[in-house]
């Protein structure tokens, strides 16, 4: 008889556990991304911060699980797994970090935390993504494989290496298609907001997020808000890892004090 695996074990990865840390940070990957993307960040922040990374269905060891092509469904399933593991914001302070598509998932998880009476996250870090209510004409539309690959190649980042290997590309394309559909289908009301502080991180040459689109996140929080800009494009956080780690540490240090 098959033995079911708890949702928390399927969805949550901890590469450098820091159970004694006073604050936890849950990280949500970008479109086509996976939990190990955050392993270097986990190493850099440990042992002061306990970093958890969400592993979406349809990639790596979860490749046989059908991917989810809806941002809110990803958020709900992520939230359920976190709550099952006790990371729902009712214990020690919990912050959320999402890059690109992950910023939208993190925002919806934050809304669920607040709506379900968990107290909400201590802070939401939204990286490399314009505000939830900002939609570019023609940008957030379904893509065919060729345009998805072209977009990833233009953005750069470590994921671009998959483009050069047909076998690897074939393995990641199902998740990429699903993630791009999820982003294309996502719409948020202009007044959808959380009470938690929001810190937006963005590269100064990111083609997907202008300074004005980054500042538009302010309408989605009733708490403190700031934008931190780094040199680089959409995947600025790879070249600016030390600066990003320092910025996160600064904010999280105050929360965990």
List 34, 100, 127, 188, catalytic entry: 100
Sequence-ordered strand ranges (E) for 187-243: 198-203, 225-230
pLDDT tens for the chain, 257 residues long, are: 233 457 788 999 999 999 899 999 999 999 999 999 999 999 999 999 999 999 999 999 999 999 999 999 999 999 999 988 887 666 789 999 999 999 999 999 999 999 987 779 999 999 999 999 998 766 666 578 888 888 888 888 766 677 778 888 888 889 999 999 999 999 998 899 999 999 999 999 999 999 999 999 999 999 999 999 999 999 999 999 999 999 999 999 988 65
Yes or no: say if 217 and 225 are a contact pair by the CB < 8 Å rule: yes
Yes or no: say if 119 and 130 are a contact pair by the CB < 8 Å rule: no
DSSP 197: -
pLDDT confidence of residue 255: 83
188 catalytically annotated: no
Whose tokens are 């009733």? That residue is 222
Domain ranges for the chain = 7-135+187-256
pLDDT confidence of residue 256: 60
Number of other CB atoms surrounding residue 126 within 10 Å? 30
Is 0.85 topped by the overall pTM?
A: yes
Where does 7-135+187-256 sit in CATH, by number? 3.40.50.1820
Alpha-carbon distance of 92 to 146, in angstroms, equals 45
pLDDT confidence of residue 1: 27
Whose tokens are 């689109």? That residue is 213
């Amino acid at each position: 008889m098959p033995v079911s695996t708890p949702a928390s074990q399927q969805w949550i990865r901890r590469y450098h556990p820091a159970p004694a840390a006073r604050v936890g940070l849950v990280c949500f990957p970008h479109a086509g991304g996976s939990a190990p993307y955050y392993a270097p960040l986990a190493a850099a922040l440990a042992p002061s911060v306990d970093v958890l990374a969400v592993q979406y269905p349809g990639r790596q060891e979860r490749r046989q699980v059908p991917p989810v092509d809806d941002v809110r469904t990803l958020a709900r399933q992520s939230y359920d797994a976190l709550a099952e593991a006790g990371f729902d914001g009712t214990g020690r302070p919990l912050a959320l970090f999402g890059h690109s598509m992950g910023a939208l998932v993190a925002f919806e998880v934050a809304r669920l935390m607040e709506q379900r009476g968990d107290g909400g996250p201590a802070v939401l870090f939204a990286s490399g993504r314009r505000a939830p209510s900002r939609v570019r004409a023609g940008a957030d539309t379904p893509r065919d494989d060729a345009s998805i690959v072209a977009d990833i190649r233009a953005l750069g980042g470590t994921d671009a290496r998959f483009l050069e290997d047909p076998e690897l590309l074939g393995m990641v394309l199902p998740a990429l298609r699903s993630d791009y559909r999820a982003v294309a289908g996502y719409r948020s009301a202009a007044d959808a907001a959380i009470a938690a502080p929001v810190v937006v991180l963005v590269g100064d040459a990111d083609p997907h997020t202008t300074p004005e689109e980054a500042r538009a996140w302010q309408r989605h929080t009733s708490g403190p808000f700031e934008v931190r800009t780094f040199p680089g494009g959409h995947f600025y956080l790879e070249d600016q890892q030390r600066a990003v780690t320092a910025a996160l540490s600064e904010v999280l240090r105050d929360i965990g004090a």
